[in-house]
Amino acid sequence: MSVDSPQTEPEAGPPPLLERMKRSPVTFALAAINVLVFVLVERAGSSTDAGTLLRFGAVERTHVLAGEVWRVLTPMFLHIGIIHLAWNTYASFGFCTVVESVLGRWRFLSVYLVSGIGGAAASALVWSRVGAGASGAMFGILGATLALRYRILGSAAALPRDPYVRSLVGQIALWTVLGVVVLRFDHAAHFGGMAFGLAGGLAATSRRRALPWAVIGAMLVALVAAAARPGAVPDESTANDAMGFAKLWLAPSKEGFVRDVPRATRLADLACRSDDAPACFEIGRAMMSDADTAVSSRGRAIVTRACDAKVAAACRLLE
């Protein structure tokens, strides 16, 4: 005599793509924007060229110091190469869709944008390379995920015991180690974004949201102001970077740079705010030799400034 085994319900698989798009439209819209921007960048040059990336809004410390503060917003929509774009898009479908389904469209978008801006501002504050990518915003969503787990579990003490939290923290630790040892990730952007994402996730799930969002806004403004430092005197390294970029925008020769005199002038002004008078002289001399009369005149004024700072070569050039 035999007994039939009990029938079990089949496990539910992931929802179809169309259903996921309906549940998380902002996530898919952001991914579409990233792909569109990538195509535009590739048509204009190359997404791996520093000049092309900077033209489309990549973050870079000296450009932000020179007054291009809007660069704390735009990098989250840029990617460096197809693999970078593909990885962040794939990761967004895994993490962002879940957070958006819990928070709703507008709260999710707020956390995403705040994280992206916070990550880019942190990058501009401490990182010296050209940076781009949605990673700051994505790490912000990881921070928001931790905030949601905290709300679900009810206490911070329960977090270390939660298998999902341990897995997530393990992934973050792995990518951090790989970024230090092998890939040179922009950890300032990652952890700056994560901090704002964690705060944003807590604010978005708070009963009284106005005050925590006001605090986050004030912190974000303070971070952006610290990155931009209007009127600050740059150090020698920053002055030399500004001089180098100014020359590339003035007489482009590689990596997707195009002639951009206003940007070159802003960077020259930044170099001349420094105590490093030779950097000021170098860019002034380059501008003096320019065929454009207005640029040449501006260059002479910069060389005069270097002469006043006791750069002998500048004084000889003016004779």
Q: Which residues are catalytic?
A: 135, 190
C-alpha span between 195 and 175 (Å, rounded): 17
Nearest C-alpha neighbor of 272 from the set 304, 295, 249: 304
Number of H helices, E strands in the chain: 15, 0
Q: For residue 105, with 0-12 CB atoms within 10 Å meaning exposed, 13-18 middle and 19 or more buried, which class applies?
A: middle
The residues that bridge with 59 in the sheet, in sequence order, are 131
- Give me 287's structure tokens: 């501008």
List of residues 6+ apart from 4 with CB closer than 8 A:
none
Collapsing DSSP states into helix, strand and coil, what is residue 135? Answer: helix
- Give me 45's structure tokens: 């040059």
Q: What are the strands, taking DSSP E only, across 97-222?
A: none
C-alpha span between 133 and 120 (Å, rounded): 9
62 sits in the region (left: phi over 0; alpha: psi -120 to 50; else beta) called alpha
Q: Are 57 and 75 in contact (CB under 8 A)?
A: yes
User: Could you tell me where the DSSP H helices lie in 56-207?
Assistant: 61-65, 82-103, 105-126, 135-153, 163-178, 187-204
Q: What is the DSSP letter of 274?
A: S
Q: Are 54 and 130 in contact (CB under 8 A)?
A: yes
249: phi then psi, degrees, rounded to nearest 5: -75, -25
Nearest C-alpha neighbor of 237 from the set 122, 123, 126: 126
- Give me 168's structure tokens: 């997530």
